[in-house]
Chains A and B, each alone.
Chain A
Amino acid sequence: EPEVTQTPSHQVTQMGQEVILRCVPISNHLYFYWYRQILGQKVEFLVSFYNNEISEKSEIFDDQFSVERPDGSNFTLKIRSTKLEDSAMYFCASRATGYQPQHFGDGTRLSIL
Chain B
Amino acid sequence: EDQVTQSPEALRLQEGESSSLNCSYTVSGLRGLFWYRQDPGKGPEFLFTLYSAGEEKEKERLKATLTKKESFLHITAPKPEDSATYLCAVQGYGGATNKLIFGTGTLLAVQP
Give the interface of A toward B (CB within 8 A). 4, 6, 31, 33, 35, 41-45, 48, 50, 55-56, 58, 91, 93, 95, 99, 101-107
Q: Which residue of A lies closest to B6 (CB)?
A: A42
Interface locus among B13-21, B64-72, B73-81, B99-107: B99-107
**8 Å CB contacts to A: which residues of B49-106?**
49, 51, 87, 89, 95-105
Distance to closest chain B CB from A107 (angstroms): 5
Number of residues from B at the complex interface, CB < 8 A: 25
Chain A residues with CB below 8 A from B97, complex form: 31, 48, 50, 55-56
- Majority SS of interface residues in chain B? loop
Chain B residues with CB below 8 A from A107, complex form: 42-43
B46 and A99: CB pair below 8 A? no
Chain A residues with CB below 8 A from B46, complex form: 101-104
